[in-house]
Amino acid sequence: MSSEVKEKLQKRHLLNKPVVFIIGIRLARVIPRLLTYRVGELAAYISYHLCSKARESVKVNLKRVFPNASSRHLQILTRRTFLNYSRYLIDYSTFSNIDRDRIMKEITRVEGTDRLYEALSRGNGVILMTAHLGNWELGGLFFGSRDDIKINVITFRDGIAQIDEIKERYRKLYNVNTIVLDDGPFAAIEILNALGRNEIVAMLVDRGGEGGVEVPFFDKYMNFPSGPLLLAAQSGAPIMPGFVVKEKSGYMAKVEESIYVKGRTAEEMESAARKTMEVFEDYIRRYPDQWYNFIPV
């Protein structure tokens, strides 16, 4: 194991260790989900108390969402975030072991598919943007399970080969193609080709990065990646914010209104980025304990 991988493993909180991920998948195959939740709750409790950096990062992020919240309220939200993340992992592990029909039933409420199909009817594909909110992996499996939609998940390597391989294997089972940006300049060509085939490309964009377009995100500014904006301008594909979040009755999937990038000017790209992040802010405020960023954003 390289020193770089060892360092990444050391920085991960307990719930994000490869061994926990793998154990969760194996447990989901042999014991009922409710019982697996109880095991997950124990792991979440241990992770919350032992992994101080991850705990404080979540609290700092939530403070940005609710600047006037009391320390007590932030503490409660932080605990619930760890707990909900354990349930997210268990649900993903469970979904990885069930057939397409059951995957479709896991999402009990779907909104905005008319918007999605209307956008696809234009023939330029769709750039579906989401956050580390709810169960984004389930969203990919859900849309991949539909016979009339082709979806590509845009991602970076997780950094741990075991997790990368598991995720890619299960995506393939549900007809979800993975495009890895780390694999070089050909990734952009593959994305453009997918849009040219009128497919969906889905990506996470709530952690910013170097370069890009600077836009407000809660109480600070973040660098919105310019790549998706340039792709939208070049291909004519709309940006569509979409989320899969847990509710009492099950999961809810929703796709929001299309956002078009009409040109490559700084003003056009900033406007599209701002509109996208405003939608993100709204959902994160509504589901703060399902925003799984264990690093400062």
Query: pLDDT value at position 97?
Result: 66
Per-10-residue mean pLDDT for the chain, 297 residues long? 40 65 70 83 91 94 97 97 91 72 79 94 96 88 80 76 69 82 78 96 86 91 92 96 91 95 92 96 97 91
Within 8 A by CB and 6+ apart from 211, the residues are 223, 225, 226
Query: pLDDT value at position 162?
Result: 61
Q: Does the global pTM surpass 0.85? A: yes
Residue 90 inside a domain? The answer is: yes
Residue 297 inside a domain? The answer is: no
As given in the structure block, the two tokens for residue 135 are 């169960």
Percentages (nearest 5) of helix, strand, coil residues in the chain: 55, 20, 25
Residue 230 inside a domain? The answer is: yes
Residue 296 inside a domain? The answer is: no
What angle in degrees, to the nearest 10, is found between the helix axes of 71-95 and 18-30? 60
Residue 295 inside a domain? The answer is: no
Query: pLDDT value at position 5?
Result: 37
Number of domain units in the chain:
1
Nearest to 154 by CA among 117, 125, 134: 125
Q: Which DSSP state fits 291?
A: B
Query: pLDDT value at position 163?
Result: 65
Q: Which residues form the domain of 85?
A: 3-290
Residue 183 inside a domain? The answer is: yes
Residue 214 inside a domain? The answer is: yes
